[in-house]
Amino acid sequence: MKHLTKIRSGVLLAAALGVAVTLVNGPESLFEQPAHAQQITGPTSSSKADAELDLRTISGRLASQSHAMADVGYHFTNLWFAADKENWPLAGYYLGETRSHLRWAVRMHPVRKTKAGADVDLNGILDAVDKSFLTELGKTIENKDLAGFKTAYRQSLEGCYACHQASEKPFLRPQVPTAPSATIISFDPNPAATR
C-alpha cells in the first residue's frame, strides 16, 4: 500500500509541475527541446544517392510482402470458418484484419514490375478489390447472410487471383479453405461452447 501511495504522490507531483510550467511559460514550453538537445541530431542525407542507400538499407530490414500476405491468408481463411459458423462478430473482425494486412502488404511493395518492364499498380488493384469484393463481404456479414457471404467470398478469391496473375504470380491460386488457420480460436458463436 505504501508503494502505491508513493506512485500516486509522484504522479500528482509530476502533473502539478507540468501545470506550473504551462502557467508560467505557456503550453508550448512543454514541447520545446533544450538547446543542447537540438544540437544532438543524426546525420542528414544531402544527396539522392545517400537517400536511396538509406531506403535500401531500411527495406532490407523489413518483413517481405510475402510475410504480410501470409497474414492475409491466415485472416481470410479464418473469416470463412467464422462466417460458416455464423459467428458474425468474429467474421467482421477477420475481414477487418484481412483489409488491414492487405494495406500493409501494398505499402511494402506498391508497384510490381512485370518481366516486360510494365508497372503493376498494386494500390489501384487493392482499392478496386476493397471497394467491390471486400465491401460486399462486409455487407453480407452485417446482414448475417451466409449464402450471400459464400458467394461474395468466392468472388473475392477470384479478385485476389486476378491480382496474382497481373503480378505474374499465377501459381498463387487461392481457394476456399478446407481447414482453419487457427485451431486455438473457437468459431462457435456461443461462448459457453469453449469451456
1 pLDDT more than 80: no
Mean per-residue pLDDT, 83-100:
98
- pLDDT, tens digit, for every residue of 16-31? 444 444 444 555 544 4
pLDDT at residue 64, as a whole number: 81
CA 4 vs CA 8, 10, 88, 91: distances in Å: 6, 10, 42, 42
Say if residue 52's pLDDT is above 80: no
pLDDT of residue 48: 77
Q: Would 156 be classed as within a structural domain?
A: yes
- Would 159 be classed as within a structural domain? yes
Predicted local distance difference test score (pLDDT) of residue 63: 75
Q: Which residue has the higher pLDDT, 48 or 78?
A: 78
In a domain, 130, yes or no: yes
pLDDT range class, residue 62, cuts 50, 70, 90: confident
Average pLDDT in the chain: 82
The CATH number given to whatever domain includes residue 156 is 1.20.120.290
- Averaged pLDDT, 119-141: 97
% the chain with pLDDT above 90:
61
Higher pLDDT pick, 52 / 5 = 52
Number of domains in the chain: 1
CA 126 to chain CA mean position, Å: 13
Q: Which domain holds residue 157?
A: 63-169
Q: Is the pLDDT of residue 74 over 60?
A: yes
The confidence score (pLDDT) of residue 21 equals 44
Q: Classify residue 99: in a domain, yes or no.
A: yes
d(CA 40, CA 43): 10
Classify residue 77: in a domain, yes or no. yes
- pTM for the structure as a whole: 0.69
167 pLDDT more than 70: yes
> How buried is residue 38: exposed, middle or buried, by Cβ count under 10 Å (0-12/13-18/19+)?
exposed
In a domain, 48, yes or no: no
Kindly state whether residue 16 falls inside one of the protein's structural domains.
Answer: no
In a domain, 78, yes or no: yes
114 pLDDT above the threshold of 50: yes
